[in-house]
Amino acid sequence: MNEVIDLLNNPSKRQEGLSIARTLDSLTYELMNHLILCGLKENDPSFNGEYIKLCVKHKGAKKIGDLLIDFFVNGNINEKIGSLKALYHVSEEPLILDESTKRFIENPKFKEHKTTYKEREKILIKEYRKCDNIILKFFFKWAIPSKSGDFFKGVPETYADLETLIKDDIKLKKQLTEYAEWN
């Protein structure tokens, strides 16, 4: 197990660590924590899900979602951003396509976890309203898909918009650079 953790802690060998972790029958709490951290550190919002989904497979969406919220609430700015990006991977779509009828139906998994999603969303909305960091506000959009439009008024739409907005703010520019390099 320690060998896998060592691989996950080495950015150039994380893929190898992930590949080995996929072959395991179970995850220890320590290994799961390292996988989650790898997911938080991954800049690619699609690939971060590879770490998170493996944890969900072993421990369930509710447990991993709750851990991601804990990382968000108690973490540093980088862990907060990573958590916001990773929360997408513990959410179920409200509607899914029923192949037999070719119609959309309510996803049973979404229905089962609806209360949990609403609780997480309340936490995120509360934190968003308190937030005065435009970089962090930008990433909230990924974690609160039920909100749009005026709720995110003044928040950049794209990375390019975000970079343009903060180009003259040395502190925020440094923060965004540090996040991009954090891994």
Looking at the 3D structure of the chain, how many domains does it have?
A: 1
Contact yes or no for 182/81 (Cβ under 8 A): no
Contact yes or no for 48/42 (Cβ under 8 A): yes
CB-count exposure of residue 66 (10 Å: 0-12, 13-18, 19+):
middle
Kindly report the number of other CB atoms within 10 A of residue 139's CB atom. Answer: 20
Any domain includes 149: yes
Among candidates 71, 89, 90, 91, which has minimal Cα distance to 81? 71
Torsions phi, psi of 31, nearest 5? -65, -40
Any domain includes 171: yes
Angle (CA) 44 48 63, round 5°: 155
Q: Can you give the length of the chain in residues?
A: 183
Q: What is the C-alpha separation between 84 and 123, in angstroms, rounded?
A: 12
Residue pLDDT tens, the chain, 183 long: 899 999 999 999 999 999 999 999 999 999 999 999 999 999 887 789 999 999 999 998 889 999 999 999 999 999 999 999 999 888 777 788 888 998 998 888 777 778 888 899 999 999 999 999 999 999 998 888 778 889 999 999 998 999 999 988 999 999 888 888 887
Q: What is the pLDDT of residue 19?
A: 96
Q: Which two tokens stand for residue 45?
A: 């919002």
Any domain includes 98: no
Please state the pTM of the whole predicted model: 0.84
What is the residue range of 84's domain? 2-92+106-181
Q: What is the pLDDT of residue 133?
A: 93
Any domain includes 60: yes
Q: What is the pLDDT of residue 108?
A: 82
Any domain includes 27: yes
Q: What is the pLDDT of residue 123?
A: 95
